[in-house]
């Protein structure tokens, strides 16, 4: 993923700041993360993680594979 793609998501004002944080976290995490580990590491409850993942999924910015969430490049 290039810097332009990252900047595009991190400056997208249509996404909540916490949603952008979840996406950024998925990009820098050493290993793919499931919803529980995202919540634990960021201090979010499960429903909050689900809300943010849903917003990212609707925009095609994450996909689920083998029980973990993987970040996608903005289209």
- pLDDT tens track for 37-48: 999 999 999 999
CB-based contact 33:49 (threshold 8 Å): no
Give the pLDDT of residue 31.
94
**What is the model's pTM?**
0.92
**Would the pLDDT of 1 be above 90?**
no
The SS3 assignment for 67 reads coil
φ, ψ at 45 (rounded to 5°): -75, 165
Per-residue DSSP letters for 24-64? HHHHH-SS-B-HHHHHHHHT--HHHHHHHHHHHHHTTSEEE
Cα 41 from chain centre = 13
- pLDDT tens track for 8-50: 999 999 999 999 999 999 999 999 999 999 999 999 999 999 9
Tell me the CATH number at 36: 1.10.10.10
Domain count, the chain: 1
Q: What is the mean pLDDT of residues 56-63?
A: 96
- Structural domain of residue 65, as residue ranges? 3-71
């Amino acid at each position: 993923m290039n810097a332009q793609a990252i900047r595009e998501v991190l400056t997208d004002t249509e996404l909540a700041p916490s949603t952008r944080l979840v996406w950024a976290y998925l990009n820098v995490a050493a290993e793919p993360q499931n919803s529980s580990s995202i919540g634990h590491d960021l201090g979010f409850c499960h429903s909050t993680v689900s809300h943010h993942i849903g917003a990212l999924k609707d925009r095609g910015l994450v996909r689920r594979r083998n029980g973990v969430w993987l970040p996608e490049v903005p289209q």
